[in-house]
Structure 1
Amino acid sequence: MPVPVAPHRWPLLGHTPAMLTRRARFTDALHEHGDVVRLDLGPLHAHFVTSASLTHEVLVTQGAKFRKGAMFDKFQPYLGTGLLLSNGEYHLRQRRMMQPAFHRDRMEAYASTMARSAAALAARWRPGEVRVVEDDMQELAVTIVGEALFSAEIGQRAVEEVRRSIFTVIQQGMVRALSPGFVEKLPLPGNREFDAAIARMKAVVLQVIESWRADGADHGDVLSMLLLAREDGVGMTDRQTYDEVLTLLTAGIETTAIALAWAFYEVGRDPGIESRLHAEVDAVVGDRPVTFADVASLPYTKKIVQETLRRYPIWFVMRRTLVDVELGDIALPAGAEVIISPHALHHDARHFPEPHRFSPDRWTPEFAANLHRGAFIPFGGGNRLCLGNLFAQTEIVTTLATIASRWRLVPTRPARVKFTSAPYPQGLLMKALPRTQSWR
């Protein structure tokens, strides 16, 4: 069958203006035009998949017939061939070598770092002060991922550089991904900022790797495990290790920081959700530090996390067909570009009634069990399932519980959204109140 073309197509520029100006409002509505809709990003033709079942085919059932798509090609000169961008046997080899760093038996130590870092952040707050919550959560996410990656003293410079540069890399990188190739060569401020941030991060991370090679000790961090990992007696080169470190930083900071900021906002503006969260945390944790063992005993907190991941996921990702593929009644030739959007799927009323309402209670075991495969993909799926998904969920639950045991965060104004690779909260101002104070 012919593939319907999405509305709002411009001559030469295609749908890029609609994507850059209307963002998720544009892509969330594409299901009205079919299960697969054609999008033109400048001269590039792509197929936007709006169906949950076809998304599951792209990610899982027929996942072996796809590789990373055009938007990832634009990142590769800067981010290398880490798990996010690599393909085929190389991707599977790197994934096998990295998996031990994210086994459940490592989570106890990571959760301790998470709880300690969240408690240190909360200890700096003062009653009644207004916090810029997205800044706090970005700082916290950088600290946690940075300490997990670089526990030794030599890694602190890398953590500081990550704190300075990583969000420039992520946000300007998405602009590049959506723009024609010539744009990244123009002397624009965003391009200069992106190039400088990449250069700084590369230099400092490679210095840390060089220092570790000279030291040779296992510091109990992720970097040590990457450098000690072997397959058939062969380890990673410095460049391979750097690519994986940068992948973990970009993938492990942005999504978690966004989710934490939005979770506190949604909890803070609903007294019913807030009181249930506090009651659960008080009963399970009390005033002691949160542990990894506590996570399983915080079901309502985990529902808040699930609903946050549903409501505020990444915008879209791309795949490319390796061979001819049939998606439903659409035949795609080898080399076709495919777009899937977690945001569009998570806001599809066919799967999530009242999709713009924040409702942790929707996540009953029955609802989750009956949810269509492909409808909820905060961490992707198939052999591309995010390796750090347990780390991220543990981090969000642990942080929520740690701060909720001490503070209430009350919004001082409605949230504003800046859409780049995901819905970023912008100027999310919340008043910090000790738990003993009333809701208003």
Structure 2
Amino acid sequence: MGWEGLSDNQNVTSDAPVVPGRRPVIGHTAAMLRRPLNFLSSLPAYGEVVKIYLGPLPVYMATTPELALRLLAADADSYDKGIVFDKMRPLFGNGLATSNGDFNKRQRRLVLPAFHRTRIASYAESTMSRLAQDSIRDWKAGQVVAVDEHMQNLVLSIAGRTLFATELGQDVLDEIQRSVPDLLDNVLVRAFSPKVVERLPIPGNRRFDAAAARLRETIPRVVLAAREDGTDHGDLVSMLLLARDEDTGEGMTDEQVHDEVVTILTTGAETTAVALAWFFHEIAAQPDIERRFHAELDRVLEGRPVTFADLPRLEYTQRITNEILRRNPPLILMRRTRTDTTLGGVPIPAGTEVAVSQHTLHRDPRWFPDPDRFDPDRWLPSRAEKLPRGAFIPFGAGPRLCPGHLFAQTEIAMVAATVAARWRLVPVPGVRVKPRLAATMQPNRLPMTVLPRH
């Protein structure tokens, strides 16, 4: 077919410019994996749509908010999930993260009720607050805590308990703690590597494959037990098993429930745990921000545990959370064109990989002046309302917006408030904390000393 009359109203131009630095065979992959923030932040300088190569594979990158929204929202039905999701399908199955078309829409309808605001409110106090309090109960003044590991373990515990509320899930809770970290440490490199690399008997591949195999064996047993129990225990798995399609009256198979459970564990938990680790690192580096945060907690909570109803009044806490999500979102969202189309005036054939990076958008100085500075006040309503739509998309956008976005934002605020109401987390002198690439940009290490606040 020709290019006339396609979705993009701009005039069709020549092909997109190739970003400098492409190397034979590996393309831009090495630059993207070695220095991802620098590489992704550089893309807007070369055009609104640019071409990078992951190995020999060309990928068209949209670098403006307007084109990001066109790709993810306005023209979402013109795209399927991209190659990264293809490579993750053996792990995730056909869950929301990897599925396409009508099946994805059906699954989304069935999954969304499990993340309704009323459900999240119940999880906030019965699970998030309680487990956060339990996790810090035995801390001692002057103790050094590996905050990155602590937050990952806490978030995985919360994910496990909200998925499986009864003792039916104890086996899988134990396996979550054991296996998910191995998946998260290797998932992005695995996704961007050629097939031949996946087969190499290197330690990362062995850990990844073993963890995936253990989860594939454990989770179905627990899903089957929950189905036979047949009771709504107020957990996510109960909701998924009881959900029915309003058109057909059909529910999910055990396999479909399994795929959604793995998706929740490996996508939602990672983003939240990393956000919490950076939250405490960033406020500790800026005493004025830390003082304002603590003052808000003292004023709103008055010494009692945080509740879901408190969250709207924790305005500065929410601004810190937004700034954390701006600086540390998932690396890239990939799509594949279903038909010949155009994006930003660039003709793109059917079957082509197209992507948008939240890092590119979130660190663009046109929308976020001095983007490397940590500034919660850039989220004051008077400033935030001036942002173009699509400039801040930590959970994606459009019909494939992450269904757990409210759950994640609630969890970050609940855990941060619970910990900081009792403790200050202070950097350990001489320890250099820097981002490292895993499923997201994690701290390379984050030991901090805990000091009582009162």
Q: How high is the TM-score relative to the length of structure 2?
A: 0.94
Distance in structure 2 (CA, Å) of the matches to 1:427 and 1:172:
16
Q: Which residue of 2 aligns with 1:56?
A: 69
Q: Are the aligned partners of 1:316 and 1:421 in contact in 2 as well (CA < 8 Å)?
A: no
Shift of 1:214: 2.2
Residue 438 of structure 2 corresponds to residue 425 of structure 1: no
Deviation per residue, 1:119-167 (Å, 9 max, x gap): 1112121101111100110011001111000111111211111111112
Instruction: Measure how far apart 1:414 and its partner are.
Output: 3.7
* Structure 1 equivalent of residue 229 of structure 2: 215
**Alpha-carbon shift at residue 44 of structure 1 (Å):** 1.1
Distance in 2 separating the partners of 1:325 and 1:218: 46
Quote the Cα distance in structure 1 between the aligned partners of 2:377 and 2:411.
Answer: 21
Give the drift of 1:106: 1.0
d(CA) in 2 for partners of 1:431 and 1:171? Answer: 25
C-alpha distance in 1 between matches for 2:82 and 2:379: 32
Q: How does 1:285-364 map to 2 (within 5 A)?
A: 285-364=301-380
State whether residues 37 and 359 of structure 2, in contact with CA within 8 Å, keep that contact through their aligned partners in structure 1: yes
Paired residues of 1:168 and 1:193 also in contact (CA < 8 A)? yes
Q: Does 1:71 align with 2:113?
A: no
CA distance in 1, matches of 2:453, 2:187: 40
Deviation at 1:371, TM superposition (A): 0.7
The offset of 1:79, in angstroms, is 1.2
Task: Name the counterpart of 1:198.
Answer: 212
Partner of 1:126: 140
Percent of aligned pairs with the same amino acid? 50
Matched, 1:388 2:404: yes
Whether 1:235 aligns to 2:251 is yes
The superposition leaves residues 153-207 of structure 1 with CA deviations (integer Å, 9 ceiling, x where unpaired) of: 1112111111111122123121121111211122222111111000101111111
CA deviation string 1:15-56 (max 9, x = no partner):
122222222211211111111111111221111221121111
Following the alignment from structure 2 to structure 1, what is the Cα–Cα distance between the partners of residues 269 and 119?
19
* Residue 215 of structure 1, CA deviation: 1.6
Determine which of 175, 181, 184 is the counterpart of 1:170. 184
Using the TM superposition, give the Cα deviation of residue 8 of structure 1 relative to its aligned residue in structure 2, in angstroms: 1.3
How far apart, in 2, do the equivalents of 1:143 and 1:28 lie? 34
Deviations 1:351-378 (A, max 9, x none): 1011111100111112221211111110
Aligned to 2:390: 374
Say which SS state the counterpart of residue 405 (structure 1) adopts.
helix
2:415 matched to 1:402? Answer: no
Q: Could you list the runs of 5+ residues in structure 2 that have no partner in the other structure?
A: 1-13
Flag the 1:409–1:324 CA change in 2: closer, same or farther, 3 A.
same
Distance in structure 1 (CA, Å) of the matches to 2:357 and 2:306: 34
The residue type paired with residue 18 of structure 1 is: A
Q: Which sits farther off after the overlay, 387-396 or 35-44?
A: 35-44
User: Residues of 2 paired with 1:34 and 1:195: CA distance?
Assistant: 39
1:84 is aligned to 2:97: yes
AA partner of residue 336 (structure 2): R
> For 2:313, what is the secondary structure of its paired residue?
coil
**Inter-partner Cα distance in structure 1 for 2:120 and 2:202:** 42
Equivalent position of 1:12 in the other structure: 25
Matches within 5 A, 1:100-139: 100-112=113-125, 113-139=127-153
Corresponding residue pairs, total: 436
2:3 matched to which residue of 1? none
The one-letter amino acid of 1:197's match is A
Runs of 4+ in 1 over 4 A off after TM superposition: none
SS at match of 2:436: strand
In 2: Cα distance, 1:236 partner to 1:185 partner: 33
Pairing partner for 2:108 from 81, 92, 95: 95
| Counterpart-to-counterpart distance in 1, 2:208 and 2:448 | 30
Instruction: Tell me by how many angstroms 1:241 deviates.
Output: 0.6
CA distance in 1, matches of 2:182, 2:400: 25
One-letter code of the match for 2:178?
R
SS at match of 2:66: helix
Q: Secondary structure at the match of 2:220?
A: helix
- 8 Å Cα contact 2:270/2:439 also seen in 1: no
Q: State the Cα deviation string for residues 202-251 of structure 1 (Å, max 9, x = none).
A: 11111101211222222110000101111122111111010000011112
Cα displacement string for residues 48-85 of structure 1 (whole angstroms, at most 9, x for unaligned residues): 22112111110111111111001111011221110011
Q: What code does the residue aligned with 2:249 have?
A: G
How many angstroms does 1:292 deviate by? 0.8
* Range moving further from structure 2, 322-331 or 150-159: 322-331
- The Cα RMSD (Å) is 1.1
**What is the rounded CA distance, in whole Å, between the counterparts of 2:244 and 2:65 in structure 1?**
38
291-300 or 209-218: which moved more? 209-218
> Which of 229, 243, 249 is the equivalent residue of 2:265?
249
Question: Which residue identity does 1:39 align to in structure 2?
Answer: I
**Over residues 365-400 of structure 1, what are the superposed CA-to-partner deviations in whole Å (9 max), with x where a residue is unaligned?**
122212111111100000110100000000001111
Matched residue, 2:285: 269
> Contact (CA 8 Å) 1:318, 1:340: kept in 2 or not?
yes
Deviations 1:271-305 (A, max 9, x none): 11111111111111122221111111110000000
Is the contact between residue 39 and residue 45 of structure 1 (CA under 8 Å) also seen in structure 2? Answer: yes
Contact 2:139 2:450 in 1 (8 A): yes
User: How far, CA to CA, are the matches of 2:101 and 2:302 in structure 1?
Assistant: 47
SS for the counterpart of 1:28 is helix
TM-score normalised according to structure 1 size: 0.97
